[in-house]
Structure formats: C-alpha cells, structure tokens
C-alpha cells in the first residue's frame, strides 16, 4: 500500500513524510521543487533510514501524473502541493488559481480514473477569513480575503461536490493554523525563499544576525499587549495529524474538515520573548503599522480533531522555538 505525497519536498510535506515512513507506510513523493530543494527529500531518507521514489513532476502535467499511478500502486493521496504566499497571490492571482485549483482538479481526475478515492488535503485557517468569535471551530462561517485563501476555499468546495457526486470518496480537509518549528533532528525545517513573511522564520533570521530587527505589525490590537495573537503549532504535531486523518479516510467514506491547531494563542511579543529564551539571543524589534489584511486574534478549537481523529497537539511552545532555532543554526553553518 503506497501513499502519494504531493508537495512532499516542502515544509509540511517533508515532516509528514518522516512520520509516514516511521509508521511503515510506503510513500511516493511528487514535487516540482518550485519552493523546495531535493536536499529535503534526501534528509527525510537520512532521518528515517528508508528509501522511497521521488518524482520531480508538476501536478499540472497530467500525463506524468498518470504514469505514476500506472507504475505505482497508489492507495491514497496526501495533497500538499500548492503556492502559499498571500501577498504574491494578490499580485499573481492567475498563477495561484492555475496552480492550486487546477492542480487539485487534475489530481482528482487522475485519482478518479484510477479508482483511488482516499484523500487528505491541505486547507488553511485562512478559510475563516476575518472570524471574530474565538476559538474558531469548523462551524465558524467561512470567508476569504485574498486570492490564496480563495484557492483553498474553492478546492474545499470542489472536493465537497466531488463527494456529493460519488459517495465512495473519503476526504479530510485539514485546516492548519500557524505551523512552525522544525524536526527535532534539525535536519529539515522551513526554508523560505528570500525575506520571510511569516513571523517565526523572520525572528530566527534576526536571531542569527541575517536580518536586523523584527517589525511588529501593530501594537494597538484589542489583545493583552496590543500585538496580534496566533495559534502556533509544532510542525511534528501537524505532521502527525495527517496520519490520523489518513487512518480515518482509509477506514471510512465521507468528507470532513478538521482544524489542526493547539487551541492556545500567543502574541507577537510573547513569541519574541519565548524565542529569546530558546536561543539565548536578544531579538531587537520595532513597532510599525498594522499589516493590511491581518486580524487581531486567531486560535483554533481543536476538539473535533481530538474527538473524531484521536489527535491533539503534544509539543509545547518552548520546544517549537528550540527546534526552529536548532534548524536555523544548522542552515547558517552551511548545512544546506
């Protein structure tokens, strides 16, 4: 039984591959390496001591995808491949719709033709848009504010229609909150191109001396210290959520969305303080205006995932900061 992992060379995909291999799944990894390097695939092999097939293929190349399904016995798919930068999606909406929406359609067409109807797909807490009621449960009304978010919501809706058309499908839509940290080995982690837009990779690059200071986007939010609050989830916990979702889709049919978050929120200032503790470095910062489109607070109600998948986050926030720091130091030391 083999699991096809699309986008498996990327940040969340590579950590999920480690967990899949450690749990004796056979995997086939597909990635076009547009936002990742072959090194992460090799590191996954190193961490697990296991080998697997890697195909450098674009999801949109249907013939190549069909070839993979012809040559390998694929039983289920974990689908990560996608573009994920909110700002870039505003500048290049067509690129995002083509890659994320058509990519998912091509994947499902091929799965359907080969009779493979078990799918775990990456969604995002971004589908909740500007939700004000906290914590955010799966019943919170959806609404999106940018093209990236719309691609995620569209794919969710396409998959729901697919299930309505054929109840044999079994699909889990995983709505991630804020993934952060790295594998405890320090061998794989997040490797953003250029200057990071997300808070934690930005902080790690300040700590290592690559960037001068953190700009805190707004200190006038209605929160305890005025800075934005988010639900940061350790990447290994997030990866494990995919295995639980896979168990569920393999053993049943239906379509369900699940929040993958911790249920706890940390402010930007708390994140900086925790990271200073983890790294032993002073993190300089300055207050600047709010970033357009940001909301004050976002954290999950993760009860449904616990109830129906038997999953909950286990690692704490300090461990996440320590692992993010270990990965950043390794990278800086010419590791990559």
Pairing of strands 118-124, 74-79: parallel
Gyration radius of the chain over CA positions: 19
Q: Which of 121, 105, 100 is nearest to 16 (CA)?
A: 121
Which one of residues 17, 121, 125, 272 is an interface residue with ligand UFG (CB under 6 A)? Answer: 125
The CA distance from 303 to 259, in Å, is: 8
Which range of residues in 37-45, 118-126, 241-249, 302-310 is near ligand UFG by CB under 6 A? Answer: 118-126
Interaction of residue 215 with ligand UFG, rule CB under 6 A: yes
Contact string (CB under 6 A) for ligand UFG, positions 265-284, x = contact: ---x----------------
Range 144-147, long-range pairs (CB < 8 A, 24+ positions): 145/293, 146/86, 146/89, 146/90, 146/293, 147/89, 147/90, 147/93, 147/96, 147/97
The full DSSP string for 255-317 is EEEEEES-S--EEHHHHHHHHHHHH-----EEEEPPPTT--SEE-B--HHIIIII-----S-H
Query: Please, what is the minimum distance in Å from the beta carbon of residue 9 to ligand NAD?
Result: 4
Instruction: For residue 104, give Cα distances in angstroms to 77, 151, 228, 333.
Output: 11, 10, 32, 37
The entry of ligand UFG, ligand NAD, none that residue 259 binds, CB within 5 to 8 Å by partner kind? none
Which one of residues 198, 223, 253, 330 is an interface residue with ligand UFG (CB under 6 A)? Answer: 198
Which residues between 158 and 177 bind ligand NAD (CB under 6 A)?
Answer: 176
Catalytic residues: 148
Interaction of residue 80 with ligand NAD, rule CB under 6 A: yes
Count Cβ neighbours within 10 Å for each residue of 259-298 and write b for 16 or more, e otherwise. Answer: bbbbbbbbbbbbbbebbeebbebebebeeeeeeeeebbbb
For ligand UFG, the closer of residues 251 and 292 by Cβ is 292
Contact string (CB under 6 A) for ligand NAD, positions 96-135, x = contact: ---x---x------------------x-x-----------
Pairing of strands 74-79, 178-180: unpaired
Interaction of residue 12 with ligand NAD, rule CB under 6 A: yes
Interaction of residue 309 with ligand UFG, rule CB under 6 A: no
Whether the upstream peptide bond of residue 135 has omega within 30° of 0, thus cis, is yes
Closest CB to ligand UFG: residue number: 228
Interaction of residue 184 with ligand NAD, rule CB under 6 A: no
The CA distance from 273 to 227, in Å, is: 13
Interaction of residue 151 with ligand UFG, rule CB under 6 A: no
Pairing of strands 26-30, 2-6: parallel
For ligand UFG, the closer of residues 170 and 267 by Cβ is 267
For ligand UFG, the closer of residues 198 and 253 by Cβ is 198
Which one of residues 7, 147, 228, 265 is an interface residue with ligand UFG (CB under 6 A)? Answer: 228
The entry of ligand NAD, ligand UFG, none that residue 81 binds, CB within 5 to 8 Å by partner kind? ligand NAD
Spatial neighbors of 101 by CB under 8 A, at least 6 apart, are: 151, 154, 155, 158
For ligand UFG, the closer of residues 73 and 212 by Cβ is 212
Interaction of residue 234 with ligand UFG, rule CB under 6 A: no
For tokens 């044999």, the residue is: 168
Q: Which of 114, 109, 132, 122 is nearest to 171 (CA)?
A: 122
Interaction of residue 197 with ligand UFG, rule CB under 6 A: yes
Query: Please, what is the minimum distance in Å from the beta carbon of residue 75 to ligand NAD?
Result: 20
Query: What is the contact surface with ligand NAD in residues (CB under 6 A)?
Result: 7, 9-13, 31-36, 58-60, 80-84, 99, 103, 122, 124, 176, 179
What is the contact surface with ligand UFG in residues (CB under 6 A)? 84, 86, 124-126, 178, 197-199, 202, 214-217, 228, 230, 268, 291, 294
């Amino acid at each position: 039984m083999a699991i096809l992992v699309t986008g498996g060379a990327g940040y969340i995909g590579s950590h999920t591959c480690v967990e899949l291999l450690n749990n004796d799944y056979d995997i086939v990894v597909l990635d076009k390496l547009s936002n990742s390097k072959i090194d992460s695939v090799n590191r996954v092999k190193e961490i697990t001591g296991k080998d697997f097939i890697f195909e450098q293929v674009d999801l949109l190349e249907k013939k190549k995808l069909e070839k993979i399904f012809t040559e390998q016995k694929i039983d289920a798919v974990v689908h990560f491949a996608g573009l994920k930068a909110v700002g870039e999606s505003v500048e290049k909406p067509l690129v995002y719709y083509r890659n994320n929406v058509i990519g998912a359609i091509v994947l499902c067409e091929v799965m359907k033709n080969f009779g493979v109807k078990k799918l775990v797909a990456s969604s995002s807490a971004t589908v909740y848009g500007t939700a004000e009621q906290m914590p955010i449960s799966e019943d919170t009304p959806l609404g999106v504010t940018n093209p990236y978010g719309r691609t995620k919501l569209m794919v969710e809706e396409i998959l729901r229609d697919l299930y309505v058309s054929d109840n044999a499908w079994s699909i889990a839509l995983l709505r991630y909150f804020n993934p952060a940290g790295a594998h405890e080995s320090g061998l794989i982690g997040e490797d953003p191109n250029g200057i990071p837009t997300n808070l934690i990779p930005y902080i790690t690059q300040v700590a290592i001396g690559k960037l001068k200071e953190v700009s805190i986007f707004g200190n006038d939010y209605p929160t305890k210290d005025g800075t934005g609050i988010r639900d940061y989830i350790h990447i290994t916990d997030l990866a494990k959520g995919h295995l639980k979702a896979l168990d569920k889709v393999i053993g049943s049919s239906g379509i369900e969305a699940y929040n993958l978050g911790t249920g706890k929120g940390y402010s930007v200032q708390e994140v900086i303080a925790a990271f200073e503790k983890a790294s032993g470095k002073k993190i300089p910062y300055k207050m600047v205006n709010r970033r357009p489109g940001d909301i004050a607070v976002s954290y999950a109600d993760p009860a449904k995932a616990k109830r129906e998948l038997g999953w909950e986050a286990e690692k704490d926030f300090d461990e996440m900061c320590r692992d993010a720091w270990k990965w950043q130091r390794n990278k800086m030391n010419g590791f990559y």
